[in-house]
A and B are shown apart, each in its own frame.
Chain A
Amino acid sequence: MRSGLKLLSTLLVAVTLVAGPVAVGVALAQEPMQAGQNPTGQDPTADAVNEELLFKHESTIRGVVSIPDKRAGNLIQPQGREYRAFHERWLPWIAAVVILGMIVVLAAFLLIKGRMKSPRSAEKIKRYNVLERFTHWMTAACFIVLALSGLNYIFGKRLLMPLIGPDAFGTASQLAKYSHVYLAWPFMLGILLMLALWVKDNIPNRVDWAWLKAGGGVLGGHAHAGRFNAGQKVIFWMVIGFGLAMGFTGIALLFPFTLAGIHGMQLMQVVHASIGALFIAGIILHIYTGTVGIEGSFAAMGKGEVDLAWARAHHDLWVEEQQAKAAGGAHLGHPQPAE
């Protein structure tokens, strides 16, 4: 009984303690609390981060994460939209116009002007040694596969997929992707070898200026040229420049986050794809001049030696140089071995 009374009094005290301040609080508030009003009277969101405000200051919303992958700290990065707009809206058109445009121009040129004829003789002159030809064809073979598998990234789903179905296309694209990624390495090696082998013959000089002013072989008439004429030098420097750019951006994409962050990689992909399209167009021009366009030119890289009369017509200064060297060599007899 006594314990019952004690419990009752404790409860009363407790109720008074709890209810008292509440009653006072209600009395002080004067107005009844409305929905939408914070009971503490403070605004807990006054300094809270806010998506709209954050986007006003920065284009990406970044924070910290407690998981090991710190790159996951990017919360919202809407730049993917620009990447997407380029990749889906512009890139297919740029690539198609550049590549098909080159083919149309060359076809029109061939129809109007025909193949470039050159004099023939019975004599041959050595033009490219085995190492030069190996480097050229290794790089060329890689380029063909890289170009086709690269074009598959852009046009595959638009042209090939409706023809062969998604599963076959998926398998083919997987193979294409592996070949793109693996053949990139011998291709980059080839670019570096080409640079080492041919840079000395590709330094622009005054002869090139005269060759360009004469319109090269395009407008008829052969201008003076050394081992490589100005047109070939342009192709050489395009291959070196584009090749290095493709290699650099390609490696950045192959090893995510090593050379660039997410926005850097978006940019790298844009550059890689755009240069790729230009590169393909440039190489189509190169293939044209090396085969159909100029009679007798394929033998240079094919067999390694060309018709002497052809060489005199296209690379007169180089022939003179070679003959002077050969004459000098014959005069001196066998070269003395180094001691």
Chain B
Amino acid sequence: MARMKFLCDADRCIECNACVTACKNEHEVPWGINRRRVVTLNDGRPGERSVSMACMHCTDAPCAAVCPVNCFYTTADAVVLHSKDICIGCGYCFYACPFGAPQYPRIGNFGSRGKMDKCTYCTGGPEPDFSVAEYEKYGSNRLAEGKLPLCAEMCSTKSLLAGDGEMIAAIYKQRVIKRGYGSGAWGWKTAYRETVTI
């Protein structure tokens, strides 16, 4: 089985936000929630770079560790998913996440922070694949269709890579060697405790 990861090649990201839009549309993500976002560092200054970030599907995920109801599980492809039926919306995963991935509908609403929502790596949830319940709670299940996450698949500059960790690391490595520079695999050290060495 593959170990699915995301890698954003910041030297290619043009901050078009197509990944953000694609994700919102593909999964009918609720209002106020962005499972993926593009963060621009050093905006307007020399050395500006943009990084597309979502849930990194960490190794030994902190969200899963702090969850008081153990609603998280990791798939055979190492994708970190959760059950919205068990989630109580306490907010702990959101405190623990290094990437700000978990979000809640109706945030700040008195006592009724809804069920947590985050990137599913286009893998749906614990419900049967392609079921209506799965789509309504978690969005579409592209992995079960044999496709990769839509954000990465439709990235116009192929900055955002999704797929088996070793494969996307190899692609990135090749790029860096060919063009002579690369600002690194953002978030990898925090998420996977390893980085792409070139």
Contacts and interface: CB of A to CB of B under 8 A. Distances in A.
Interface of A: 35-38, 43-52, 54, 61-67, 69, 71-81, 83-84, 87-88, 152-154, 156-157, 161, 166-167, 169-170, 173-174, 176-178, 181-182, 253-258, 262, 265-266, 269
Contacts of A61: 41
A51 B11 contact: no
Closest 10 CB pairs between A and B? A170-B86, A181-B111, A47-B47, A63-B39, A45-B181, A80-B96, A63-B41, A38-B180, A75-B39, A72-B37
Interface stretch (B63-71, B130-138, B148-156): B63-71
B-side binding surface: helix, strand, loop or mixed? loop
A173 B69 contact: yes
Nearest to B24: A67
A37 B180 CA distance: 5
Contact of B95 (A46, A52, A72, A80): A80
A254 B167 CA distance: 42
A71 B81 CA distance: 23
Contacts of A63: 39-43, 50-51
Interface stretch (B117-125, B139-147, B157-165, B185-193): B185-193
A277 B71 CA distance: 24
Contacts of B88: 170, 173-174, 176-177
Contacts of B41: 49, 54, 61-63, 75
A161 B70 contact: yes
B85 interface: yes
Interface string B22-44: 00000000001010011111110
A156 B71 CA distance: 13
Contact of A169 (B39, B69, B96, B100): B69
A256 B113 CA distance: 10
B18 to A, nearest CB: 12
A64 B186 contact: no
Contacts of A80: 62, 95-98
A167 B69 CA distance: 10
B49 A48 contact: yes
A109 B49 CA distance: 65
Contacts of B107: 256
Nearest to A89: B65
Contacts of A152: 68
A51 B95 contact: no
Most chain A Cβ neighbours within 10 Å, of B41, B48, B181? B41
A218 B94 CA distance: 46
Given A67-B20, A87-B92, A269-B95, A161 B183 contact: no
Nearest to A176: B88
Contacts of A37: 180
B80 to A, nearest CB: 14
Contacts of B69: 156-157, 161, 166, 169-170, 173
A46 B48 CA distance: 11
Interface string B165-198: 0000000000001111111101101100000000
Contacts of B49: 48-49
Nearest to B191: A76
Contacts of A255: 108
B39 A64 contact: yes
Contacts of B187: 51, 75-76
B110 to A, nearest CB: 7
Most chain B Cβ neighbours within 10 Å, of A51, A62, A74, A255? A51
A78 B198 CA distance: 24
A71 B100 contact: yes
B40 to A, nearest CB: 5
Contacts of B67: 157
Given A49-B42, A63-B43, A170-B85, A84 B96 contact: yes
Contact of A75 (B43, B53, B66): B53
A254 B111 contact: yes
B181 A51 contact: no
A157 B72 CA distance: 12
Contacts of A35: 177-178, 180
